[in-house]
Amino acid sequence: MPEKISLPAKLINGGIAGLVGVTCVFPIDLAKTRLQNQQGQGVYRGILSLSLLLCLPFSTRFDCLIKTVRSEGFFGMYRGAAVNLTLVTPEKAIKLAANDFFRNLLSQEGKELTLIREMLAGCGAGTCQVVVTSPMEMLKIQLQDAGRLATRQTIAGDGSGTVSQTIQKPSALRIARNLLRTQGISGVYTGLGATLLRDVPFSVIYFPLFANINKLGQKSPHEKAPFYHSFLAGCIAGSVAAVAVTPLDVLKTRIQTLKKGVGEDTYNGIVDCARKIWRNEGPSAFMKGAGCRALVIAPLFGIAQVVYFIGIGELILGFFH
């Protein structure tokens, strides 16, 4: 029989892992969103690869964050963090716990999971998590991108002497309430298809890759790998999966951005978005924010896997029994 797992403990582990990880990497995630939403000659200079990141001067490497701090203050880097921290707990809990659940369900006594079964478990985890991921990302993106639109309008105003409109500082509650009133629940789930298109391939790549790299640090199948090995395994697997699905993340970010700047394209679905990006910005636009995305996902999943493997949920539940 497959080894029994405690689903409540797994949910607690995933939730704590998500909170710790997101707190550490949120500013880079904000930079990623703003870089991906730029069309044509944008406000921020970006990075496409980690190799370029190491070669560029400091001011270019972190241009987006430097400009954000100058125009919006230090906490401008954490615009949208509240909604993300609120929803990342159930999101990470569902993702990590669902993967464990499906791996356990697909396992056979005395046999290691085949790669196909590992990929199926990852697919199940990615599918389950979008229930929370899609509205969380949609609300977060509106808050993260508001500063880019304001900066863009300020620059336009400096050139022409006028600014077309004043951007009101948004709140997640106001955005959610307006969407529910005007579009119903479907409004909150704008971009659900694009989120599925990104998260399922990500999980199919990430979880089997992490499991196999982490396995290299185990002395026996019944022992856990050292925490530093789990951290590195999470970083490596996260970086590979993040860069691999960056084009899908660009599509999702563009579709879920409700407010566009003057002259920026609007999109009617995934195919229309992909066609317009290819035609107007070229194939390189599909890799916008790839470097930032790798920098976000690598430590996020490295930290998440360490917290998850420590087994804090099991310790908490054990304390109350």
Q: Tell me if residue 85 falls in helix, strand or coil.
A: helix
Q: How many helices and strands in the chain, by DSSP H and E?
A: 14, 0
Buried b (16+ CB within 10 A) or exposed e, 179-207: beeeeeeebbbbbbbbbbbbbbbbbbbbb
> How confident is the model at residue 302, as a pLDDT?
85
Rounded to whole angstroms, the Cα distance separating 229 from 306 reads: 9
**Which of 134, 86, 100, 106 is CA-nearest to residue 8?**
100
Rounded to whole angstroms, the Cα distance separating 148 from 76 reads: 11
Rounded to whole angstroms, the Cα distance separating 282 from 62 reads: 24
Is 106 exposed, middle or buried (CB count within 10 Å of its CB: 0-12, 13-18, 19+)?
middle
Query: Cβ distance 180 to 187 under 8 Å?
Result: yes
Six token digits for residue 60: 């270019």
Q: Tell me if residue 140 falls in helix, strand or coil.
A: helix
Rounded to whole angstroms, the Cα distance separating 122 from 210 reads: 11
pLDDT tens digits for range 25-34: 888 888 788 7
Q: Is the dihedral of CA 167, 78, 207, 9 positive or negative?
A: negative
- Which residues touch 190 (CB under 8 Å, ≥6 apart)? 134, 138, 179, 183, 255, 256, 258
**Which of 19, 10, 36 is CA-nearest to residue 97?**
10
Domains, in order of start, for the chain: 7-319 (1.50.40.10)
Residue 111 per-residue DSSP state: B
Buried b (16+ CB within 10 A) or exposed e, 137-149: bbbbbbbbbbbbb
- Tell me the HSE value of 153 on the side-chain side, using a 13 A CA sphere: 17
pLDDT tens digits for range 94-120: 887 888 889 988 987 767 889 999 999
Q: Within the chain, what is the greatest distance between any pair of CA atoms?
A: 73
> How confident is the model at residue 189, as a pLDDT?
93
Residue 216 per-residue DSSP state: T
> How confident is the model at residue 202, as a pLDDT?
95
- Report CA dihedral (197, 203, 206, 207) to the nearest 10 degrees: -170
Low-confidence spans in the chain with pLDDT less than 70: 1-6, 40-62, 110, 147, 149-169, 320-321
